[in-house]
């Protein structure tokens, strides 16, 4: 792995804050672009307001996104993405660390360019010629083989990226973060909104939080010496169960939110790039892998369709194809994917799927209490909690695969 070189560059910054409750957000966004980009480019500084085009980018559940273009041949860059942090996101994200990590990724060429920071957001490079994947393209293994592209890019992230802004690459904050979110969720109430109050009561937050310990017993945590007891119980070092756990318990820099909208495809380059690292952190790679699989039915839902994990959750065969491409990219020659190892990997991924899903249930309750985004977070939390119990059933009793779905994808 290579550290990202700290070259001392400090991105331009202004203290302006976008008032997300105002009716003139677009005017504020243009003003911030003028101040940040105008320092180095006179076109952005001097162009008349009529030359600016601002477009709202939909789909974000945490932040507000705007594509700002300057209709001037001399403008460099001609287009940027303005990301205004949502208030609820401040409760679940360390924005200062997020900006530092984003800068590290930008320097390494792994993420979009960073053009500047403002009081509650940043200016990012617009990925021209790229589009987000459609939900079901995450399952596509025909040309273009998106599943293998994503697996290889995830492997590159895990193997190569070590942000200099993260001091200790052995410290996983997963459980501390979940507990912090749980504490925030306990404070959420709706005394003036009986509809939301009813939905929160129906969700049964105490039942949600009670599942945290169940996940901690299955996965590396303080209850098992950070996985050491689980590895010991898995059998000899050469056993499939031990090798599967050793791989998926590895601590690496993880994306933690690999849904379709955060995977950008270029037809010309024939590859994908990952964006939106606001939840990225050092974690067990099994969480990143399982969360990506969990994100397939979630992405299908976000695209305006129904939430159908029974139908669209990756099959065993699809998961194994993904894992095989991942291991080849990382040159894990000691982990030849035979049937025994494949079954062991699937079992551990199924365990990680539980905490990956539960994490978003708790997140959604926090968002319901704080977010200005027009979205039914409580219904979303209830939906994901139902999926949690479905995945728990699969993990405990097995799952009847629906490999016939591949016929539906062509």
**CA atoms in the 13 A half-sphere facing the CB of 117:** 15
Peptide bond into 256 cis (omega under 30): no
Closest CA to 247 of 174, 346, 318: 346
Q: What is the percentage of the chain residues whose pLDDT exceeds 90?
A: 83
CATH of span 13-125: 3.30.200.20
pLDDT of residue 216: 99
pLDDT of residue 7: 44
pLDDT tens digits, 242-261:
999 999 999 999 999 999 99
d(CA 331, CA 246): 15
pLDDT exceeds cutoff 50 at 407: no
- Contacts of residue 172, defined as CB under 8 A and 6 or more positions apart, other chains included, come to 220, 226, 251, 281, 282, 283, 284
Q: What is the fold, at CATH topology level, of the domain defined by 131-408?
A: Aminoglycoside 3'-phosphotransferase; Chain: A, domain 2 (3.90.1200)
Helix (H) or strand (E) holding 74: none
Domain ranges of the chain: 13-125, 131-408
Beta bridge partners of 53: 69
Closest CA to 225 of 236, 160, 233, 49: 233
pLDDT of residue 89: 72
Closest CA to 377 of 193, 200, 147: 200
């Amino acid at each position: 792995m290579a550290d990202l070189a700290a070259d001392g560059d400090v991105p331009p910054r202004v203290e302006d804050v976008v008032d997300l409750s105002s009716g003139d957000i677009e005017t504020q966004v243009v003003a911030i672009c003028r101040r940040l980009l105008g320092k180095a480019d006179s076109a952005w500084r001097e162009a008349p307001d009529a030359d600016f085009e601002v477009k709202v980018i939909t789909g974000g559940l945490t932040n507000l996104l705007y594509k700002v273009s300057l209709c001037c041949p001399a403008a460099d860059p001609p287009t940027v993405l303005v990301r205004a942090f949502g208030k609820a996101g401040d409760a679940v994200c360390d924005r200062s660390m997020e900006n530092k990590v984003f800068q590290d990724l930008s320097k390494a060429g792994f993420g979009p360019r960073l053009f500047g920071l403002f009081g509650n957001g940043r200016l990012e490079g617009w990925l021209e010629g790229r589009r987000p994947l459609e939900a079901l393209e995450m399952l596509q293994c025909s040309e273009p083989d998106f599943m293998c592209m994503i697996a290889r890019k995830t492997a590159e992230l895990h193997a190569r990226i070590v942000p200099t802004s993260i001091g200790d690459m052995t410290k996983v904050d997963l459980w501390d973060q979940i507990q912090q979110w749980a504490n925030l969720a306990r404070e959420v109430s709706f005394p003036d909104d009986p509809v939301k109050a009813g939905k929160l009561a129906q969700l049964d937050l105490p039942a949600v939080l009670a599942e945290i310990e169940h996940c901690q017993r299955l996965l590396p945590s303080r209850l098992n010496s950070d996985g050491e007891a689980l590895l010991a119980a898995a059998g000899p070092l050469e056993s499939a169960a031990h090798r599967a756990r050793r791989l998926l318990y590895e601590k690496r820099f993880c994306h933690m939110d690999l849904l379709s909208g955060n995977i950008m495809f270029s037809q010309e380059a024939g590859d994908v790039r990952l964006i939106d690292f606001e939840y990225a952190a050092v974690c067990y790679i099994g969480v990143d892998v399982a969360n990506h699989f969990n994100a397939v039915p979630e992405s299908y839902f976000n695209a305006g369709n129904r939430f159908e994990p029974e139908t669209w959750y990756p099959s065993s065969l699809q998961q194994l194809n993904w894992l095989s491409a991942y291991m080849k990219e990382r040159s894990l020659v000691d982990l030849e994917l035979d049937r025994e190892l494949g079954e062991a990997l699937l079992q551990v991924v199924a365990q990680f799927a539980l905490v990956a899903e539960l994490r978003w249930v708790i997140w959604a309750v926090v968002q319901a209490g704080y977010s200005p985004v027009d979205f039914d977070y409580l219904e979303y939390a209830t939906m994901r909690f139902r999926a949690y119990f479905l995945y728990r059933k699969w993990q405990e009793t097995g799952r009847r695969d629906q490999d016939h779905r591949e016929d539906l994808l062509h």
